Amino acid sequence: MNKTINKYTILGFGIFLSAVVLVSCEDFLMKAPESNVSEDAAFENFTNFQGFTEELYNIIPDFSNSYWTSNWNFGDDIVTSNDMDYHIVDMFDDGNFWGWQSEHNGWNTSWLDKAGSPPTTNADRFDKSLWDHGWYAIRKANVGLSNLDKLQGTEMERNLIEGQLLFFRAWNYFQYMQHFGGMPYMSEPLPADAQFDQERLPYQAIADSVARDFRRAADLLPISWDETEVGARTAGNNALRINKIMALGYLGKNLLWASSPLMNDGADETAASYNQEFAERAADALGELLSLVESGEANYELLDFSEWHMNFYTHGQNWELPGGTERIFTGPYFDAWQSNWNTSKQFTPTIIMDGSNFFPTANYVKKFGMANGLPLDEGDSGYDEEYPWRDRDPRFYSTFVYDGLQVVQGTMPEADEQHRHANLYTGGSYRYANGASPGGTQTGYTLRKFIPLTANTYDDGMSYGSNLHIHLPWMRLAGVYVMYAEAASVANQSSTGSSGTFNMTAEEAINRVRDRAGVPPVDGRYLGDVDDFLSEVRREWSVELGFERHRLTNQRRWLLLLDENNTRKTGHFFQRSPDFDPDNPRENRVLNLNEVVLKERNLTERHYWLPLKRSDVNISASFEQNPGW
């Protein structure tokens, strides 16, 4: 797909590298040699204009492959191994939210910001940066929109160009808003010599502007490029090009975020603290999307649970891009093999894999309930601390490696045979302990959601011949159902709420996702009170969409960042029972299960928003820093 995108860039890429507001303006004033193309030529026909536009795809950050070890989860869900405490999540745990910025991140590990002025046209995954490239993309979109009148083409060609430009302008604004709050909204390119003096808008005000862009994009763009006369020219290679479904998905997400307690200046985390008007609009947009999907007009559907992993990686499939029919929006990849350097190696203890690691916290693992659909803390859930792996939600087994699970599948030296099964009990070889095994887990669990079990030194499931390709989506269909359930329930203050565009209730939407995994519907005890139902919707965010970059943003927008249940990162410590059975790990008994606090996150009210760069807020007094920073 990335090669198809690049075919249009003969005249497009590098044009008008004018000053980009707030991002090393002098760097972007430099004119690239490739930009010696006249303005009229760049915009005169669809091929040239599409070439100009497709640079916007090239700078979408690949957050799951942005560094040698890639950190995209910043909440209470992850801890790093003791030999790798330099990532953003470690800085954020210490309250150092400046760590997202390259000048405060000496290792340059952040996909939010990269040192210098990363180029916009290369194929280096390490160079894709949200802060740098987002402002560039907004300006580029505005330049394109201001030159639409120069396009000599059909109405469809104009619609495709305009729809893409509107989407990318809105998408990049939305990324900034959810991290930093309200921003100035620029709908025209600022002259390079202009004095920047625009004020930051209130969150909901800019959300309205972004919503108008997404709405217009959805109206202009087709469901499938392949089924248009223009898209037929590149049929079979249009899967990543912006379409109506992507625009509707982000329209709904933007409006749901705007309705949320943090953005609505709500009093607390309850459903009453949402803005019901924004929530209703969100439900309508997401309902419109789901109606197209459920009617068969849009070729999207949830993957079968046996293929759930294909949302995140493919293996032995000739480097196929993950996602399948469930993928809504993702960026292009530049070399599928690069996910083995070292994303494929960052979840497995060093005793069986050479790498540094991210591990799931025990406090987060507890959000995964039982096979009967109930959360662990319900008295009749069936959860037994002596048998903690028994009868769990099927997604528990697809997300985590737990004690006793067979990890190594093939042959291994006799001396290493002791490491075939996950030794995650206290003192086990997969655990970090007293300075030994620095690449071992402190928490009692490891992640398998994004890698096959065979991604270890012995099975070599990450070798070139295995074709392991890891590439996480920005949005997938399961997430749309969950967002719809949240929006429809708070808009109507009821679990039976629906939207004006789709008659599916919030309850039915959340059950659609649970049913795919073989989990029973939400229990009736959670359906009478909207806040009880909302607790299950939020748990579904944690389970179905866990470790997919959502957790910190959700904690913030729900006003739950400072809740004591979310400020402590814990590990499980336990001993194996003498009757341990390696052939039946789910039924194994453990002794003296104890939850221990590993980290207290140093967070206060100011951490609800990330700090802006000091160099940027110094540009103008009207561009104010976030409170407390």
Whether 135 and 118 have beta carbons less than 8 Å apart is answered as no
Q: Which residues contact 428 (CB under 8 A, 6 or more apart)?
A: 403, 422
Whether 77 and 553 have beta carbons less than 8 Å apart is answered as no
Confidence band (pLDDT; 50, 70, 90) for 436? low
Whether the per-residue pLDDT at 206 is higher than 90: the answer is: yes
Residue 18: predicted pLDDT: 29
Question: If you compute the radius of gyration of the chain from its CA atoms, what whole number of angstroms results?
Answer: 24
Residue 21: predicted pLDDT: 31
Higher per-residue pLDDT: 143 or 356: 143
Residues 175-183: contacts with CB under 8 Å, at least 24 apart = 175/130, 175/134, 176/134, 177/203, 177/206, 177/207, 177/210, 177/254, 177/257, 178/257, 178/553, 178/557, 179/100, 179/112, 179/553, 179/609, 179/610, 180/609, 180/610, 180/612, 180/626, 181/609, 181/626, 182/206
3-state secondary structure of 1: coil
> pLDDT tens-digit profile of 559-582?
999 999 999 999 999 999 999 999
Whether the per-residue pLDDT at 104 is higher than 50: the answer is: yes
Scan for tokens 């940066």, then name that residue: 129
- Quick one: average pLDDT of 488-503? 99
Tell me how far apart the alpha carbons of residues 527 and 495 are, in angstroms, rounded to a whole number.
Answer: 6
Whether the per-residue pLDDT at 376 is higher than 80: the answer is: yes
Q: What is the 3-state secondary structure (H, E, C) of 528-577?
A: CCHHHHHHHHHHHHHHHCCCCCCHHHHHHHCCCCCCCCCCEEEEEEEEEC
Q: Which residues contact 154 (CB under 8 A, 6 or more apart)?
A: 46, 229, 230
Least confident of 158-162, 197-201, 397-401, 604-608: 197-201
Domains in the chain, start-ordered, CATH in brackets? Answer: 1-73+111-242 (no CATH), 252-308+471-560 (1.25.40.900), 334-470+567-600 (no CATH)
Burial of 196 (0-12, 13-18, 19+ CB in 10 A): middle
- Quick one: average pLDDT of 460-468? 96
Neighbours of 520 (CB within 10 A): 13
Whether 76 and 568 have beta carbons less than 8 Å apart is answered as yes
Whether the per-residue pLDDT at 15 is higher than 50: the answer is: no
- Quick one: average pLDDT of 513-527? 99
> pLDDT tens-digit profile of 85-97?
889 999 999 999 9
> pLDDT tens-digit profile of 153-180?
999 999 999 999 999 999 999 999 999 9
Confidence band (pLDDT; 50, 70, 90) for 83? confident
- Quick one: average pLDDT of 109-124? 87
3-state secondary structure of 466: helix
Q: Per the omega criterion (within 30 degrees of 0), is the bond before 342 cis? A: yes
Q: pLDDT exceeding 90 applies to what percent of the chain?
A: 84
Q: Which residues contact 261 (CB under 8 A, 6 or more apart)?
A: 267, 268, 269, 270, 273, 274, 557, 558, 559
Whether 468 and 344 have beta carbons less than 8 Å apart is answered as yes
> pLDDT tens-digit profile of 405-429?
999 999 999 999 999 999 999 999 9
Residue 118: predicted pLDDT: 78
Which of 444, 538, 66, 30 lies closest to 256, judged by CA? Answer: 538
Whether 471 and 321 have beta carbons less than 8 Å apart is answered as yes
Average pLDDT, the chain: 93
Whether the per-residue pLDDT at 618 is higher than 60: the answer is: yes
> pLDDT tens-digit profile of 281-332?
999 999 999 999 999 999 999 999 999 999 999 999 999 999 999 999 999 9
Whether the per-residue pLDDT at 54 is higher than 50: the answer is: yes
Whether the per-residue pLDDT at 34 is higher than 90: the answer is: no
Residue 417: predicted pLDDT: 98
> pLDDT tens-digit profile of 576-615?
999 999 999 999 999 999 999 999 999 999 999 999 999 9
Scan for tokens 């003296």, then name that residue: 592
